Structure 1
Amino acid sequence: MTMRLTEPFYRRKIAACQARLAERDLAGVLVFKPANIYYLSGFFHYPTERTIALWVPTSGEPALFVPKLEEDHAAEGWLRQIEVYFEHLGPPHPLDWLAERLRGWGLGRAQLGYESSLAEGSLRRLQTALPDASWTPDGGKIIADLRLVKDAEELALLRAAAHYADAMVEAGVEAVCERGLLSELEINQIANQAVVQRMMAELDNVVFVSGMTGGLVCAGPRAAHPHGLPGLARPRPGDALILSFGCAVGGYHAESERTFFIGEPGPEHRRYYEAVQSAQATGTAALRAGATCSEVDWLCLHVLREAGYGAFIRHRMGHGLGLEGHEPPWIEDGDATVLQAGMVVSSEPG
């Protein structure tokens, strides 16, 4: 099956962005963040030091700015206006060149949007090159707000990614059950290879940027490390084993994470497991439209605190999922975002 978004989807997103730009009296937004370029144009690329940017005007067709190295790749997509420079530092410098393009389009005195993630030095360079233009991060906020709520096509990709992430967990369990106490790296490699082969057989026109799958496997005392990297350690009888895997379908990421025990868990392991399981169930049940992220996080982690494990909490309840493995909204104390139907988040307290 084909699991990749098409031109009508991206044109719809461009139109939604343009409507909000018009509401804020912006001439357009200059987009540098790779995930935002993916979202608005579908131009998936391998980010390097070379400048790649997307210009979305309030009206009219968007324009993609790429180095010569990406010209042929960019031409494979639906965007028709592709502006090409030669190499990373020029001359001219790509940002100076880009600013001259904007000036040539009559935007030298316009109000221009940018993303707050744009490096301060890059913003200063653009401001110097276009001294009569005004710049506002409102443009980036428009894109961030659009990305919060997924539509039907995006949800389909996320469900498919979750399906394959679950399959990775199953492959990891199967490897241990059939081959014995393999090393963390071996379990990780087996699960990744098994599901990549399956995805290659079942999917058409895949999106490959940083990889289709990935994972963390930790055993024994290292199972308490939320983001521990897999190594040569082998689980022993009585150990906890963490299988934490992620997959991307059509560029959209989902995770599947489970805790297992080698043999029968002891009483202490059972208490920890049951407390986290209860916290996760409480937090997941609280994920309802109208609740705030901070409220849901508090309800979830309060279960662990009430169980006497407050001193051992290492992280929030969860985070958003989409074109990035970690993206807003953040299910944590500091995020007052109001949850809406169509938002996709993880539930993984600990």
Structure 2
Amino acid sequence: MSADPSTPFSQRLGAEVYDRIQERILAMLAAEKVDALITDHPEDVSYLTGFFHHPGERPVAVLLESTGRVVLLVPELERQHAEEQRAHAEIVTFAEYPGLESPFAPLSRAAAPARRIAVTTQITHHRLALLRSAFDGVEWVPSEMVTTARFIKLPEEVALHREAARITDLMLQAGADLVRDAIGSGAPFPSEADLAAHVGRVGVGEMYQEHADVVVISFLAGGLVYAGANSAIPHGLPSSYRLRDGDTFMLSLGAAVGGRFVEGERTFVLGEPTSDQRRYHDTIRDAQAEGGRAIAPGIRCCDSNARCLDVIRDAGLGSYLRHRQGHGIGLGMHEPPWLEDGDPTVLRPGMIVSNEPGIYIPGHAGYRISDSMLVTETGSEPLTSFPRSLEDCVIPL
């Protein structure tokens, strides 16, 4: 929320932010000895230029040349959209797709001569073939430079993540309150779908009420809600299942402000917890606390993952593990680096990663606690702040 209540929180980053982002890539172009970079990944496009779009069959791409020139290729139908979003680039368009020539031909005509061009490793074979047909005599160099650049968030990006975290906390509170209100009024308990719809309305409503220039992407606010045995499926989808006395239920929520994501997840118990529910919840809380300590500058992702998940294994619950400690968060809800045994990436200040250990007991329930963590100079800071202990996550009947 804006420090001045009369001034709405702006989701749009200023031109000077994109100048710094593009300068970061220019240094990488020089280091990789390439003449230019082309990426058609929607998140890269928005990262480099501030243009957010609904991806489809019509290509949208960015060309960043070693001279510092930036060109945004869009279909003609998106020109006005890019201009209204103040895309930080020259705009070049193609008429339609598939068209009578490669949609990348106008980009080729606008580009300076180049011998080596870096291209994102996530480009499809089809798109790469279209590029090759439009650019003659170019060596295409697979590169992760934009992915790597996105690891470290600028302060202006962190401000967007913090606001997404505030909204995520509001949604967690709204979900718990909906259940408490039903108990207090004697109404039927809400279903998973009821809860999911309610928290989504709260999150999106808060955003449009408090923010200017809302950046609309496929996901603004909401998430997954599952209860009882359904919650033993880590990414289960909300159903018509209605909460019952004694249920464990999970609110797996998040928001995207200015396209920057945050996730926050809590596991609740409806009524007095059993000894098993206490054991499961307390173990995950302990693992998540150790995971938070293990997210710090200089620590490898794989080592953080091991420290976090070893708490669960040492508690004798390792057979219920289904996934890693966490993942990077930014313009994607899931993006590198990965807090997993196979990722040796060293954590650095400015990274944002999830800390979300979980266990899943078939036929009973799942238990997961997640916070989005900002790596700082001395350790890490959870951006989401909803209480995590079992005492705070019990809803009395």
Q: What TM-score bracket applies, with the shorter chain setting the length?
A: over 0.9
Change in 2 beyond 3 A, CA 1:275/1:80: closer
How is 1:18-97 mapped onto 2 (pairs within 5 angstroms)?
Answer: 18-76=26-84, 77-79=86-88, 81-97=90-106
Counterparts of 1:234 and 1:241, CA distance in 2 = 11
How is 1:254-265 mapped onto 2 (pairs within 5 angstroms)?
Answer: 254-265=262-273
Q: Which moved more, 1:16-25 or 1:228-237?
A: 16-25
Change in 2 beyond 3 A, CA 1:60/1:274: closer
- The match for 2:163 among 160, 165, 172 is 160
Q: Give how far 1:97 is off.
A: 4.6
Residue of structure 1 equivalent to 2:14: 6
Residue of structure 1 equivalent to 2:154: 151
Q: Give how far 1:321 is off.
A: 1.0
SS at match of 1:246: strand
Letter in 1 for 2:168: A
Identity %: 39
CA RMSD of aligned residues (A): 1.4
Asked whether the equivalents of residues 95 and 122 of structure 1 are also in contact (C-alpha less than 8 Å), the reply is no
- The match for 1:113 among 104, 109, 118 is 118
Change in 2 beyond 3 A, CA 1:281/1:6: same
Which consecutive aligned stretches of 4+ in structure 1 deviate over 6 angstroms post-superposition?
none
Asked whether the equivalents of residues 102 and 133 of structure 2 are also in contact (C-alpha less than 8 Å), the reply is no
Asked whether the equivalents of residues 199 and 222 of structure 2 are also in contact (C-alpha less than 8 Å), the reply is no
How is 1:221-236 mapped onto 2 (pairs within 5 angstroms)?
Answer: 221-236=229-244
Counterparts of 2:88 and 2:246, CA distance in 1 = 56
Structure 1: which 5+ runs fail to align? none
Counterparts of 2:136 and 2:67, CA distance in 1 = 23
How is 1:1-350 mapped onto 2 (pairs within 5 angstroms)?
Answer: 1-76=9-84, 77-79=86-88, 81-102=90-111, 105-107=112-114, 110-138=115-143, 141-180=144-183, 181-350=189-358
Counterparts of 2:194 and 2:227, CA distance in 1 = 12
After superposition, what is the alpha-carbon deviation per residue over 1:57-88, rounded to whole angstroms, capped at 9, x for unaligned?
01132001110110111122143521111112
Counterparts of 2:21 and 2:237, CA distance in 1 = 37
Counterparts of 2:306 and 2:113, CA distance in 1 = 50
- Number of residues paired by the alignment? 344
Counterparts of 2:88 and 2:331, CA distance in 1 = 20
Letter in 2 for 1:308: G
Q: Give how far 1:23 is off.
A: 2.4
Counterparts of 1:264 and 1:70, CA distance in 2 = 55
After superposition, what is the alpha-carbon deviation per residue over 1:292-313, rounded to whole angstroms, capped at 9, x for unaligned?
0000101111111111111110
Q: Give how far 1:124 is off.
A: 3.2
Residue of structure 1 equivalent to 2:392: none
User: What is the TM-score normalised by the length of structure 1?
Assistant: 0.95
Letter in 2 for 1:143: V
Q: Which moved more, 1:16-25 or 1:54-63?
A: 16-25
Considering fraction of residues, name the structure with more strand.
2
Asked whether the equivalents of residues 183 and 234 of structure 1 are also in contact (C-alpha less than 8 Å), the reply is yes
SS at match of 1:346: strand
